[in-house]
Amino acid sequence: MNLSLELLAAAGDVKGGEAATFWILAPIAVLGALGMVWARNAVHSALFLVISMLCLGVFYVLQAGPFIGMVQIIVYTGAIMMLFLFVLMLVGRDSSDSLIETLRGQRMVAILLGVGLSLLMGIALYRALGDSDPKGLTEANAAGNVTGLARLIFTKYVYVFEVTSALLITAAVGAMILAHIQKSPEEKISQPERMLKRFLPGNYPAPKPGPGVFSTSDSVATPARLPDGTPSDRSISKILPTRELTSADVAPKGTEK
């Protein structure tokens, strides 16, 4: 109990190391939050949010809340956000959302809800930072912060905890279903069909010759020579300038020095 009281007392005493950590990580957390909102790429937005969550977990630990700090880092940052990133990469990060509203007025409703949420969060912060007397905090932390939280979660709030777990599992299963692509047997191409498709008219069945093959230079800009001695334009990338061939380059095979 004495240890818990000391931790609670330390939470209200901002010392030099805690203040320095706050002033270092607070701008990073704010920049990460702004980058999450302003980033056009969904993957970049998720990575910015990961930065903000990591900083928030460190803040929880500094405020004598090791359990919620580790949950913030391990569960939210390490599990949920990584699952979100995997779904984005599997579904496709280049797919652009349609700007046409499927429901009229949904942008206005979203703006109003965002303003209302901001007001609620501002009022909650104003009351939390003001003079408040928490009820039952000392009794809950009498046996320690982690022990007190575990006792409340698995006794008084066990049904809420199980419902939240079911929601998270449902979200994970839904993400896997969205990311899973199953092809019908008719869409699968067998190996003999692939082979026949390569030899259809207009296709080139053999691999293209690499740059510098059968030539006197190993430059990537030197075209390969065909069996009749003529250069092959397909052996050089279109973005590279073609190297001027010399008489030695176009000489028949076996006559090079």
183 is a domain residue: no
Q: Indicate whether 78 and 21 sit together in one domain.
A: yes
pLDDT in tens, 62-81: 887 788 888 888 888 888 88
Domain's final residue, options 173, 191, 222: 173
112 is a domain residue: no
Residue span of the structural domain in which 68 resides: 6-93
169 is a domain residue: yes
Dihedral of the alpha carbons of 151, 153, 159, 161, in degrees to the nearest 10: -150
* pTM for the whole structure: 0.48
61 is a domain residue: yes
Q: Indicate whether 85 and 20 sit together in one domain.
A: yes
Q: Burial of 13 by CB count in 10 Å (0-12 exposed, 13-18 middle, 19+ buried)?
A: exposed
Q: To 5 degrees, how large is the angle CA 5–CA 8–CA 9?
A: 85
> Is the separation of the CB atoms in 21 and 5 below 8 Å?
no
Number of folded domains that form the chain:
3
Report the pLDDT value the prediction gives residue 8, as an integer from 0 to 100.
46
Domain's final residue, options 116, 149, 173: 173
Q: Give the mean pLDDT of 168-189.
A: 75
107 is a domain residue: no
Report the pLDDT value the prediction gives residue 77, as an integer from 0 to 100.
84
Q: Give the mean pLDDT of 46-71.
A: 87
Report the pLDDT value the prediction gives residue 195, as an integer from 0 to 100.
77
CA distances from 167 to 50, 153, 155, 173, 182 (A): 21, 16, 20, 10, 25
Provide the percentage of residues in the chain whose pLDDT is more than 90: 9
Quick one: which of 254, 251, 256, 255 has its CA closest to 225? 251
192 is a domain residue: no
Q: Indicate whether 10 and 81 sit together in one domain.
A: yes
130 is a domain residue: no
